[in-house]
Amino acid sequence: MVDLAPDSLPATTASTAEPTPEPARPRAVALPSVPYVGWGLRRSWTLFSEHRKKPVDPPASFYQLIAADSVRQLSRYTSVAGQSVLDVGGGPGHFRDAFLEAGARYCWVEPDVSELAVTDVPGRIRGSALALPVRTDSVDICYTSNVLEHVPDAWQMSSELVRVTRPGGLIYLSYCTWLSPWGGHETAPWHYLGGRRAQARYERRNGVPPKNIYGETMFPVYVADTLAWARSRQDVVVIDALPRYLPDWSKPILKVPGVREVLTWNLLLILRKI
């Protein structure tokens, strides 16, 4: 049994629920379905179209689609069936069903008590991504989606993902790059003029501050810096690096400085801990 018991941490990062992963559902293991096949333009079009419907607070259907797509992506590198999955920044557990249906043993970490209160199910852990309340070398797969740009120290969080993953396990690290068209989130594309200017413009036009506050809950993270961080680590191997939502043939974008910062949109790293 994989040990996901929390370490002894301050109360602000302690678990509010039993952190043992929820058992896989007793059914035939099958990947969650998606309305496309392959890894080409149809998939990209479907993902972006769903996101455009309500980009700031996406509907449940968007999260279901991204969750199913994430499990499908992970299954290119390993079988998730029977493995423990820790979802860092899992909100109210949007991705829970997709991982359970694929046979994983799933739990998630979320610092926001109000998010955790939405779903009263096993596997919830209250804690910070900067100091995960999970034992070292205890997770088969450490997963995080669109969280890195929302923490004040991206490299501390990234190091925590590596720490809790067992040797031989995988880290799925994905985030929205700052210079992408959606880098400023609801303040985009004005973030190209600066995060604070974009925020001030949003407040003038809408009378309220944006959901994501530059320098408080949203921070610039660049493709070049993330690739450099991963390659500098002695305890992980980069299995794959790709623009998460784009077709497979777009991978060469990551080799072009400058261009990759804009066109990657969402960077996905698949790392194996050694």
Is 204 found in the same domain as 153? no
Tell me 122's DSSP state. Answer: T
Per-residue pLDDT at 88 exceeds 70: yes
Range of the domain at 244: 11-178+220-273
Is residue 227 situated within a structural domain?
yes
Task: Please give the model's pTM, rounded to 2 decimal places.
Answer: 0.89
Return the amino acid letter for 226.
T
230 to each of 32, 150, 270, how far by Cα in Å?
29, 19, 10
Of 13 and 208, more confident: 208
Is 167 found in the same domain as 54? yes
Is 136 found in the same domain as 41? yes
113 to each of 9, 10, 91, 261, how far by Cα in Å?
17, 16, 9, 34
| Nearest residue to 15 (alpha-carbon basis) of 107, 141, 151, 153 | 107
**Range 179-184 average pLDDT:** 97
Burial of 59 (0-12, 13-18, 19+ CB in 10 A): exposed
- Would you state the pLDDT for residue 60? 80
Is 201 found in the same domain as 86? no
Whole-angstrom distance, CA of residue 162 vs CA of residue 87:
13
Per-residue pLDDT at 118 exceeds 80: no
Is 231 found in the same domain as 208? no
CATH, residue 46: 3.40.50.150
User: Do 99 and 139 touch, CB atoms closer than 8 A?
Assistant: no
Is 190 found in the same domain as 145? no
Tell me 81's DSSP state. Answer: T
Is residue 2 situated within a structural domain?
no
Is residue 120 situated within a structural domain?
yes
Return the amino acid letter for 164.
V
Report the alpha-carbon angle 174-176-182, nearest 5. Answer: 155
Per-residue pLDDT at 3 exceeds 70: no
Is 193 found in the same domain as 166? no
User: Do 204 and 135 touch, CB atoms closer than 8 A?
Assistant: no
Is 71 found in the same domain as 30? yes
Is 234 found in the same domain as 172? yes
Is residue 4 situated within a structural domain?
no
- Would you state the pLDDT for residue 208? 97
Q: How many separate domains does the chain show?
A: 2
User: Do 268 and 246 touch, CB atoms closer than 8 A?
Assistant: no
**Range 210-222 average pLDDT:** 97
Is residue 19 situated within a structural domain?
yes
Is residue 172 situated within a structural domain?
yes
Whole-angstrom distance, CA of residue 233 vs CA of residue 75:
24
Lowest mean pLDDT among 55-59, 155-159, 266-270: 55-59
Is 226 found in the same domain as 214? no
Is 17 found in the same domain as 146? yes
Is 207 found in the same domain as 138? no
| Nearest residue to 195 (alpha-carbon basis) of 181, 183, 211 | 183
Is residue 151 situated within a structural domain?
yes
Structure tokens at 199: 């925020």
Is residue 1 situated within a structural domain?
no
